[in-house]
């Protein structure tokens, strides 16, 4: 192997996808010397991602000037359907503020191109090997490209390399509030029927429908495709072994919403995520930081991951520009405060016990009440908390809905725990 060479940068970012490239773009636009390394080439898929972007995330892309470029290949999704069993609520996004579901081959390539156009130095097909340290401070990293190793000295090394982050491992980032995923999921892509937008059953929307202890999901992707899949308890994984395609087709063909849109052959192989783990990680230390799934990985049920990657990239760019270890720590603590409630909201949505009398009552009310539909949108747009959204449920109990008493009490304890955790995280943030 060739001798190590040395280069310098202000910021070295490991990972060039939904967190790393926006961060690089924002920093390079402000004059930072940025190097981004990624072991993949572009364009390339990220097969572990169902890639829905909520309106909140699209608003950030608009803010940094690339939202319309995404919509060129993945037009806006006007709303979503959410429901339990046969009760489905159609929730429309405000006009001009839809979500999007771009394939990662296109989205990630666009993000890399924009970062490069801003002045970032992008090294693809490059492996991160290890961090460089001086005493207890990270001062760069060793990377390998085409059999040659290079030391890159940098003021800050950022891990944007996903949930199995090697950077997080090398810097010793501590994990907390973690738990094993109770579900696995498989999906594939089908041609999107011409009638999907006009049909009153779908109205062009994305969908998550809980049925028993499974849920089915539909996301209109770019190039006239539909991502269609099933999430199920991990205890059922043996039923899928060596028959992923057969089992997926069986389950999408038997449901009244997914059967009409999967009557042709899939366009892709079956993809999936199994044995996942959700967590927070320490997101900053002397000379290093984590962003995106490397620092926070939540249950994908409500589709918040890419939005949070954009949000945290923007916040970390501000902290790096401020230029101190305290600014990095403030970024970390603020991220926790902004994420705790939605982390547990996602945990609740992803639980196999989500289909219960309380949530069936919730969705029966949401389906009929525009004000409650607007509250759902306010939650995913980070305008109100999940706890605020469910405050009205006590009234349902007082009107004789005694079947919801037990799950309501359970939910109350859960919300109380989350609020206690939020209070603790706020104190940590305020102490800096």
Tell me the percentage of the chain whose pLDDT exceeds 70.
Answer: 94
161 is in which domain, residue-wise? Answer: 2-178+278-345
Instruction: Please report the pLDDT score of residue 395 as a whole number.
Output: 53
Q: Examine the domain organization and report whether 323 and 358 are in the same domain.
A: no
Q: Examine the domain organization and report whether 38 and 156 are in the same domain.
A: yes
Mean pLDDT of 374-403: 70
Mean pLDDT of 102-129: 97
| Tens-place pLDDT, residues 257-269 | 999 999 999 999 9
**Predicted confidence band at 396 (pLDDT cuts at 50, 70, 90)?**
very low
User: Quick one: which of 416, 423, 415, 422 has its CA closest to 345?
Assistant: 415
Instruction: Please report the pLDDT score of residue 369 as a whole number.
Output: 85
Mean pLDDT of 287-304: 96
Q: Examine the domain organization and report whether 307 and 422 are in the same domain.
A: no
Mean pLDDT computed over every residue of the chain: 92
How many folded domains does the chain comprise? 3
Q: Examine the domain organization and report whether 119 and 55 are in the same domain.
A: yes
Instruction: Please report the pLDDT score of residue 361 as a whole number.
Output: 83
Mean pLDDT of 53-61: 97
Q: Examine the domain organization and report whether 149 and 297 are in the same domain.
A: yes
Mean pLDDT of 161-188: 97
Instruction: Please report the pLDDT score of residue 23 as a whole number.
Output: 98
- Rounded CA gap, 110 and 44, in Å? 11
Residue 175 pLDDT > 60: yes
**Predicted confidence band at 398 (pLDDT cuts at 50, 70, 90)?**
very low
- Please answer whether residues 68 and 59 qualify as being in contact, where contact means their C-beta atoms are separated by less than 8 angstroms: no
Instruction: Please report the pLDDT score of residue 405 as a whole number.
Output: 56
Residues sharing a CB contact under 8 Å with residue 369, sequence separation 6 or more, in sequence order: none
CATH of the domain at 158: 3.50.50.60
Residues sharing a CB contact under 8 Å with residue 211, sequence separation 6 or more, in sequence order: 85, 255, 355
Instruction: Please report the pLDDT score of residue 394 as a whole number.
Output: 53
Choosing from 273, 294, 316, the residue where a domain stops is: 273
**Predicted confidence band at 1 (pLDDT cuts at 50, 70, 90)?**
low
**Predicted confidence band at 138 (pLDDT cuts at 50, 70, 90)?**
very high
Task: Quickly list DSSP for 302-335.
Answer: T--HHHHHHHHHHHHHHHHHHTSHHHHHHHHHHH
Q: Which residues of 219-238 are buried (b: 16+ CB within 10 A; e: fewer)?
A: bbbbeebbbbbbbbeeeeee
Choosing from 233, 256, 273, the residue where a domain stops is: 273
Q: Examine the domain organization and report whether 156 and 140 are in the same domain.
A: yes
Residue 408 pLDDT > 80: no
Q: Examine the domain organization and report whether 9 and 45 are in the same domain.
A: yes
**Predicted confidence band at 206 (pLDDT cuts at 50, 70, 90)?**
very high
Mean pLDDT of 197-213: 95
User: Quick one: which of 142, 120, 147 has its CA closest to 131?
Assistant: 142
**Predicted confidence band at 110 (pLDDT cuts at 50, 70, 90)?**
very high
**Predicted confidence band at 104 (pLDDT cuts at 50, 70, 90)?**
very high
Q: Examine the domain organization and report whether 235 and 289 are in the same domain.
A: no
Choosing from 247, 273, 299, the residue where a domain stops is: 273
Residue 5 pLDDT > 80: no
Lowest pLDDT segment from 118-122, 375-379, 386-390 = 386-390
Q: Examine the domain organization and report whether 232 and 135 are in the same domain.
A: no
Q: Examine the domain organization and report whether 310 and 402 are in the same domain.
A: no
| Tens-place pLDDT, residues 39-53 | 999 988 887 788 999
Q: Examine the domain organization and report whether 118 and 254 are in the same domain.
A: no
**Secondary structure (3-state) at 242:** coil
Angle between helices 370-380 and 357-366 (to 10 degrees): 110
**Predicted confidence band at 362 (pLDDT cuts at 50, 70, 90)?**
confident
Q: Examine the domain organization and report whether 229 and 365 are in the same domain.
A: no
CATH of the domain at 262: 3.30.9.100
Residue 240 pLDDT > 50: yes
Mean pLDDT of 53-72: 97
């Amino acid at each position: 192997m060739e001798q190590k060479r040395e280069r310098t940068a202000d910021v070295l970012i490991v990972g060039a996808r939904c967190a790393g490239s926006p961060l690089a773009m924002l920093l390079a636009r402000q004059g930072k010397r940025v190097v981004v390394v990624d072991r993949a080439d572009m364009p390339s898929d990220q097969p572990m991602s169902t890639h829905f972007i909520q309106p909140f995330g699209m608003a950030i892309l608009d803010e940094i000037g690339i939202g319309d470029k995404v919509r060129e290949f993945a037009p806006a999704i006007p709303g979503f359907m959410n429901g339990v069993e046969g009760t489905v609520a159609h929730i429309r996004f405000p006009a001009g503020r839809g979500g999007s579901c771009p394939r990662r081959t296109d989205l990630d390539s666009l993000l890399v191109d924009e970062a490069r156009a801003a002045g970032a130095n992008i090294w693809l097909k490059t492996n991160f090997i290890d961090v460089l340290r001086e005493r207890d401070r990270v001062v760069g990293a060793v990377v390998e490209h085409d059999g040659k190793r290079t030391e890159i000295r940098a003021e800050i090394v950022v891990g944007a390399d996903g949930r199995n982050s090697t950077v997080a491992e090398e810097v010793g980032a501590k994990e907390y509030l973690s738990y094993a995923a109770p579900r696995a999921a498989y999906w594939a892509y089908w041609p999107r029927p011409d009638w999907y937008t006009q049909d009153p059953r779908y109205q062009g929307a994305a969908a998550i429908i809980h049925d028993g202890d499974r849920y089915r999901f539909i996301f209109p992707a770019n190039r006239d495709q539909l991502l269609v899949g099933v999430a199920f308890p991990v205890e059922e994984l043996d039923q899928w072994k060596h028959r992923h395609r057969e089992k997926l087709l069986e389950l999408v063909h038997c449901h009244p919403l997914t059967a009409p849109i999967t009557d042709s052959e899939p366009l892709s192989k079956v993809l999936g995520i199994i044995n996942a783990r959700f967590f927070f990680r320490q997101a900053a230390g002397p000379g290093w930081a984590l962003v995106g799934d490397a620092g926070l990985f939540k249950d994908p049920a409500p589709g918040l991951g890419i939005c949070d990657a954009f949000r945290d990239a923007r916040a970390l760019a501000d902290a790096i520009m401020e230029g101190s270890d305290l600014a990095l720590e403030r970024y970390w603590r603020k991220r926790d405060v902004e994420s705790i409630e939605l982390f547990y909201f996602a945990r609740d949505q992803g639980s196999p016990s989500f289909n219960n009398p309380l949530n069936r009552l919730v969705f029966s009310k949401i389906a009929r009440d525009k004000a409650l539909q607007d509250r759902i949108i306010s939650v995913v747009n980070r305008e109100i908390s999940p706890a605020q959204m469910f405050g009205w449920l006590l009234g349902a109990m007082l009107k004789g809905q005694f079947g919801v008493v037990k799950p309501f009490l359970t939910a109350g304890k859960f919300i109380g725990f989350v609020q206690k955790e939020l209070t603790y995280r706020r104190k940590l943030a305020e102490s800096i």
